[in-house]
Amino acid sequence: MKRWSSVLAVSIFFCLLIGCATHRAKRDLIVLLPDPDGKDPAITVTTKGGSQILDKPGYATEVEDLNKAPIPPRPVNENEIKKVFGPALSAQPDLVGRFLLLILYFEHDTTKLTPESKNQLPEVLRNIKNRKSNEIYVVGHTDLLGTEAYNIELSSRRANYVRDLLVSSGIKPSILFVSFYGKARPLVPTKNEVPEPRNRRVEVIVR
């Protein structure tokens, strides 16, 4: 798990704002932090005036007015994160006992695991069995290449392929919940018809 303190501290943006405190308008501040699940995080902040995507940890946007769009992302100094959000962050519950998120990747247009995922498979199965879970979600996805209908079917085949792998490794079918979303939920957003290996995946979520 990446600690939030490993966010790289860049410019002293905050001090500039606080320096003008008397003239500063009230602003809502939203800062994206590193995702402890280690995957690519992203949030979208939307006002009546527009939207801003935050997809780089350590970056923030601010909203001054509900009719104005959020400002473009800016890096935030680690000390300022601590100062403003220290108490909130230290009240965060422990990660121990939190669900496990594992991802298996597939070759283009197939239900064939990539060589890397094939190599990781024994350890993945071991991790899953060690948790002795009674709730495992298996979610299939594709990249944005191809039609919606075709990819719904492909993602379904991928999800069921992984489900079968889990069952044959000794996991009870009754604790497995299979779902699939075709090209609707890319991990890495791309334009339509763009191939992206990181989107060709099945996510296994183990409670």
Interface residues with other proteins (CB under 8 A) are 4, 26-37, 39, 41-47, 54, 63-66, 70, 81, 84-94, 98-99, 101, 137, 139, 177, 179, 185, 203, 205, 207
Least separation in angstroms between residue 115's CB and other proteins is: 26
For other proteins, give the closer residue by CB, 121 or 188: 188
- Distance CA(44)–CA(120), nearest Å, equals 33
For other proteins, give the closer residue by CB, 18 or 107: 18
For other proteins, give the closer residue by CB, 33 or 152: 33
Least separation in angstroms between residue 48's CB and other proteins is: 8
Least separation in angstroms between residue 109's CB and other proteins is: 25
For other proteins, give the closer residue by CB, 93 or 170: 93
Handedness of CA 90, 92, 95, 96 (dihedral sign): positive
- Distance CA(147)–CA(20), nearest Å, equals 52
Q: What residue type is 201 in one-letter code?
A: R
Could you write out the DSSP letters of every residue in 105-174?
A: EB-TTSSPBPHHHHHHHHHHHHHHHHHT-S-EEEEE---SSS-HHHHHHHHHHHHHHHHHHHHHTT--GG
For other proteins, give the closer residue by CB, 44 or 119: 44
Least separation in angstroms between residue 108's CB and other proteins is: 24
- Distance CA(118)–CA(110), nearest Å, equals 14
Least separation in angstroms between residue 158's CB and other proteins is: 16
State both tokens at 135. Answer: 């709730």
